[in-house]
């Protein structure tokens, strides 16, 4: 699922019981599982000047990047943080961690060969879904309209609850969201990058995150 859709759904679901502070906490939580990707990809693309084929065809599957993804996309990590937030009765923290978990729940069935180790540190197993939110070879053509519909409903819900505040906030954040959208387009361009002759295509089935640490490559059949 695209990051803007995660933001809208996280805010609509986890920000429903409060005002702007809870909505913004939910927005931050919905972004956090993808933040490391934006930071690392942005640095590689715009600071190091690496081509998208290298960033999303090689670096994305590297030991370092996959280890980072296994931590910030872990149901175990975010579940523990949510439990702590509930125990401390911190509403903003519940909204933040709940939105992060909701992000993972939507990501799990929508990544074909670019999934994450969602159950680290218990296991490095990566679920390879038959469906992809961006790859047209794996259902993206019908996932995209559904995602657009759900996102629109979430946006309407947010506007209906706090129309003035939400519209002002969206306007103030438009520039930042445009940057995220541009990286999303580059991210979805991985399909083309991985199909070029000089790019080695790798699947999460050929790699796994070792529990509590190192990244191990398994020999592909």
Task: Round to whole Å and give the CA distance between 79 and 17.
Answer: 20
pTM of the predicted structure, to 2 decimals: 0.76
Residue 42 has a pLDDT of 97
Residue 169 has a pLDDT of 55
pLDDT tens digits for range 151-172 = 999 988 888 876 455 544 544 4
Residue 20 has a pLDDT of 82
Q: Residue 215: helix, strand or coil by DSSP?
A: strand
Q: How crowded is residue 42: how many other Cβ atoms within 10 Å of its Cβ?
A: 16
pLDDT tens digits for range 117-146 = 999 999 999 999 999 988 899 988 999 999
Q: How crowded is residue 71: how many other Cβ atoms within 10 Å of its Cβ?
A: 15
| Mean pLDDT of all residues belonging to the chain | 80
Strand partners of residue 208: 216
* 166: region left, alpha or beta (phi > 0 left; psi from -120 to 50 alpha): alpha
Annotate 68-104 with DSSP letters as a single string. Answer: HHHHHT-HHHHHHHHHHHHHHT-HHHHHHHHHHHHHH
Q: Domain limits of the chain? A: 3-213
């Amino acid at each position: 699922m695209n990051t803007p859709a995660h933001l809208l759904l996280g805010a609509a679901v986890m920000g429903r019981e409060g005002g702007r502070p809870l909505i913004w906490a939910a927005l931050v939580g919905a972004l956090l599982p993808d933040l490391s990707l934006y930071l690392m990809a942005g640095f590689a693309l715009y600071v190091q000047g690496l081509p998208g084929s290298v960033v999303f065809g090689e670096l994305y599957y590297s030991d370092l990047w996959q280890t980072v993804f296994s931590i910030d996309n872990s149901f175990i990590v975010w579940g523990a943080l949510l439990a702590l937030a509930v125990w401390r009765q911190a509403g903003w923290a519940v909204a933040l961690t709940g939105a992060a978990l909701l992000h993972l729940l939507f990501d799990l069935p929508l990544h074909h060969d670019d999934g994450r180790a969602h159950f680290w540190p218990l296991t490095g197993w990566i679920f390879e879904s038959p469906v992809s939110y961006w790859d047209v070879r794996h259902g993206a053509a019908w996932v995209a309209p559904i995602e657009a519909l759900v996102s629109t409903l979430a946006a309407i819900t947010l506007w209906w609850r706090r129309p003035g505040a939400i519209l002002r906030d969206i306007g103030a954040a438009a520039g930042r969201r445009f940057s995220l959208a541009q990286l999303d387009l580059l991210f979805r361009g991985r399909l083309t990058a991985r199909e070029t002759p000089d790019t080695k295509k790798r699947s999460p089935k050929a790699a796994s995150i070792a529990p509590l640490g190192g990244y191990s490559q398994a020999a592909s059949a």
